[in-house]
A and B are shown apart, each in its own frame.
Chain A
Amino acid sequence: MADAPYDDPDTRPLDSARSTRGRDAWRRFRRNRPAMAGLVLLVLILLAALIGPYFTPFDNETPDWSAFRAPPSLASGHWFGTDQNGRDLLARTLQGTRVSLAVAGVATLVAVVIGVVFGAVAGYIGGRLDQAMMRFVDVLYALPYILFVILLMVIFGRNVYLLFAAIGCLEWLTMARIVRGQTLSLRQREFIEAARAAGLGSAAIVRRHIVPNLVGPVVIYAALTVPEIVATESFLSYLGFGVQEPLTSLGTLIAEGTDVFEILPWLLWFPAAFLVTLLLSMLFIGDGLRDAFDMRGHG
């Protein structure tokens, strides 16, 4: 057979326009209006929570002796009003947002790390080990969540970050299942076989070929886990567990606000509005990420 029977279109150099999977995903994400709105709101809230406290006229723990139970007012400088102890609600809300987000970040990180490693190992190795690992997950699923949390509080009661790292240790179950499912289907793909034919060992295959291809589903699920944990934290704080004074969290603020809603309604409204905005924006972002990373029909 003669070489190159005619000009070979396959070997023409490519032009410089190029896209990567990440760039494609970003392009699709940008076109998703609710997700972009969510992203803008989340960035604003994050900025406010992180650098806002340096610019607010009051801090979050010192009482203002001249203004107890003051309603929101621009003139007094207490834009969100004050509570029964004269503390500025704006400062407390920003600080509470920071705690809620930090707690959610810690728990999500723990859940992602454990879930990805556990799921990828179970899925890649397969067989009896996989069966044993997944049955263990089923058993954990079957145990009552709140019982675990109360047990953990007995152990970690004083340190809220440790508590939520421990909550992350409970949240990884769903992540592990998702990752294992993805790994099982990745394992069937030819590029895994190609890697084995190239002589790579199991650990290198999981690290180089399995985990990078899990980024899509993991990012999406993590984005949906963060609001779940924020809500869990709020729930626990509402029950009276969670962060200790003078620190606060969105959940704690809402719990306190609910008690005095009839006479000091702003103590509920502002933290609740922050929480709802935060959760909605993160859910929209998670949704947008899911669509953006979904490669079906995009080649």
Chain B
Amino acid sequence: MSGLAAGPRTDAVPDASPEAVLSVRNLTVGFRTEDGPVEAVHGISFDVRRGEVLGVVGESGSGKSQSLLATLGLLTSNGHARGEALHDGRNLLTMPERELRRVRGRRIGMIFQDPLTSLTPHLRIGEQLSETLRLHAPDRLSRSDVRRRCTEWLERVHLNEPARRLEQYPHELSGGMRQRVMIAMTMLAGPELLIADEPTTALDVTVQAGILDLMRELQRDLGTSIVLVTHDMGVVAGVCDRVQVMNGGRIVESGTVDEIFHAPAEAYTRRLLAAVPRIDDVRAPPAELVDPHGEPLLRVEGLGVDFSLHGGLFSKRRRFQALEGVGLTLHAGETLGIVGESGSGKSTLARAILRLIEPTVGRVTWLGRALGELDAKAMRDARRDLQIVFQDPFASLNPSMPVVESIAEPLRVFEPALSRRGRRDRAREALSLVGLDDSFANRYPHELSGGQNQRVGIARATISRPKLLVCDEAVSALDVSVQARVLALLAKLQRELGLSMLFITHDLAVVSAVAHRVLVLYRGRVVEVAPTRTLFAGPRHPYTQRLLSAVPVADPRAERHASGPAGQAGDEDGAASNAGERLREVAPGHWVAEARQGRDVPGDTGGPGDPARSGAEPAFEPTAPTG
């Protein structure tokens, strides 16, 4: 698969060292598939030393997860492993299932990416915790002892009100709280090794920071060894002592975290690190490049979206405000980054602007025309200029259509006079613009990689030569190196086609690399708008500050200074819950929400001397959005 030879640091296969908790030797993992046998891991060897945090990083398909699942006998039924995984002098790979089960959980714990699917939905937290304890505790414990130990551990993972949590069901907890419960559950049995497979990938950055602090604390206080499998170089830099980089089923390089980050020996590691965008190295084009005085292409004022949730035929409808009083402007050729955590309403904002969702209140003005007032036909014509690239490259393409058809689809609407042949020619042109040649035209999405499919999505969005491209988490589902190339492609298209972009993402590092200006959304409201460099250099709003400090930086030296005390989960939004905010200009082009009596509609004006206008004002409801 990979053309890389194994580096000198991994060639020799040393004997199992005495201080290792787990010694893996010549581990090969293979799968039987429809296309014949596939080898995912090609004979790797490594040690996990007592009391260390070992980071295993790599892109998807590198075999990083499979190599650790294999050591615990957790491969899917079509997988098989050869080699040795020595724990306490015994080979886990040849151990009978009965004994392996005793090692799993009691001696080696494992936590997974999605804490919701790893917890049994119909059992209370307390029941699940005590079950673990009863399975693995050395002697029989009384009911009150079990309860006491469970409560202790929930406290230890910094869950507030631990006694009440024991009575709750998994769906009543937030993602971060569930992951803390998972960690408590795994640690109850007192394992000496904890294997964490992408434990924070599904979580928001502020929540992720808390979980990583917690893992670090456990390792420090209890001496538990931790193997952290992740694709995120920033997470590795913040938490790990040693790192091994995997690619194509081999260990490319391993060493201390400082060696890997500051003196990488292998070209692959260097490329991987170079592809990671970093918030401490803002590469964004300066906002001054865009003419701030001209009339903006897009102006959004007082935009609000309510969703009504209804339980069924006879239950009352409830309302939920996804967006409230959002304003922004976008100029020709400009990229505005819209960042926010899950539930902040950023995707709703994109869809409301494009009228894929009808806004409840507010005004979207495009080239001087109010989009909300257009009828169906005029709106269809306007869509020619307003295109969108979606997050999931597979899901956003019709699986039963060859990609050339998907790309040509907008032409059926916008240029109905074009012949079938003409459409195909234009689609091939659009394909070549995103770097794919003719051999891709008649493929189906399932035959292409994520990065290739995303290029197809971009080709479809740009075939009608739009003026505005909305990128809704367009690179979030991609590996870092693919992400870097897709970002480069978007930058190229922006230059060549003169596109304006709304770049929506949860990833601040990505925004720091592409956006002229950044808008921060929190719970459906704008909390801060500023030129990218200004925002990253000096965030003013407490929420923005917290968000920026939570982002892990792919640099161990910077990360060591940054680590703060672990917060209590359950009040994870303490810093920014001052409802009733309006925007105030603190510097030219830099607007910050501030607490106020009475509510005005916040507006972003984009330039000096262009005061915020107040539009229709939605009735304020104190219901906080959930999820």
Contact = CB atoms under 8 A, between A and B. Distances in A.
A200 B400 contact: no
Interface stretch (B140-148, B388-396, B515-523): B388-396
Contact of A198 (B399, B401, B409, B513): B409
B582 to A, nearest CB: 32
A190 B350 CA distance: 14
A190 B396 contact: yes
A4 B396 contact: no
A interface, over-half SS: loop
A211 B619 CA distance: 42
B356 A196 contact: yes
Given A190-B390, A212-B398, A11 B383 contact: no
B447 A198 contact: no
A296 interface: no
A299 interface: yes
Q: How large is the interface on A (under 10, 10 to 19, 20 to 34, 35 or more residues)?
A: 35 or more
B487 interface: yes
Given A5-B274, A212-B398, A197 B383 contact: yes
A4 B481 CA distance: 11
A196 B436 CA distance: 25
A209 interface: yes
Interface in A1-59: 1-6, 8, 10-11, 13-16, 18-21, 27-28
Interface stretch (B419-427, B448-456, B559-567): B448-456
A294 interface: no
B451 A21 contact: no
Interface in A194-224: 194-201, 204, 208-209, 212-213, 215
Contact of A213 (B400, B413, B437, B451): B400
Given A5-B274, A10-B455, A200 B412 contact: yes
Contacts of A196: 356
A193 interface: yes
Given A14-B443, A198-B383, A4 B485 contact: yes
A150 B460 CA distance: 55
Interface string B485-501: 10110011000000000
Contacts of A15: 439
A212 B400 contact: yes
B34 interface: yes
B446 A299 contact: yes
Contacts of A200: 409, 412-413
Given A6-B271, A199-B380, A213-B400, A194 B447 contact: no
Contacts of A298: 34
B551 interface: no
B488 A1 contact: yes
Contacts of A208: 398, 401, 409
Contact of B409 (A14, A28, A195): A195
A3 B409 contact: no
B356 A193 contact: yes
Contacts of A3: 488, 491-492
A21 B439 CA distance: 18
B275 interface: yes
Contacts of A10: 435-436, 449, 451-452, 455, 482, 485
A193 B439 contact: no
B439 A13 contact: yes
A1 B391 CA distance: 21
Interface in B336-382: 351, 354, 356, 380
27 contacts: A1-B283, A1-B484, A3-B488, A4-B485, A5-B275, A8-B435, A10-B451, A10-B455, A11-B435, A11-B455, A18-B447, A19-B447, A20-B444, A190-B390, A191-B399, A191-B406, A193-B351, A193-B390, A194-B388, A194-B396, A194-B457, A196-B356, A198-B410, A200-B409, A201-B380, A209-B398, A213-B399
Given A10-B455, A10-B485, 12 more contacts: A3-B488, A10-B451, A11-B455, A13-B437, A14-B440, A21-B444, A193-B396, A197-B383, A197-B388, A198-B460, A199-B413, A213-B398
Interface of A: 1-6, 8, 10-11, 13-16, 18-21, 27-28, 189-191, 193-201, 204, 208-209, 212-213, 215, 295, 298-299
Interface of B: 34, 271, 274-275, 283, 351, 354, 356, 380, 383-384, 386-388, 390-392, 395-401, 406, 409-410, 412-414, 435-437, 439-440, 442-444, 446-447, 449, 451-452, 455, 457, 460, 482, 484-485, 487-488, 491-492, 513-514
Q: Which 10 A-B pairs have the closest CB atoms?
A: A190-B396, A199-B413, A11-B435, A198-B410, A199-B383, A10-B451, A190-B395, A14-B439, A13-B439, A199-B380
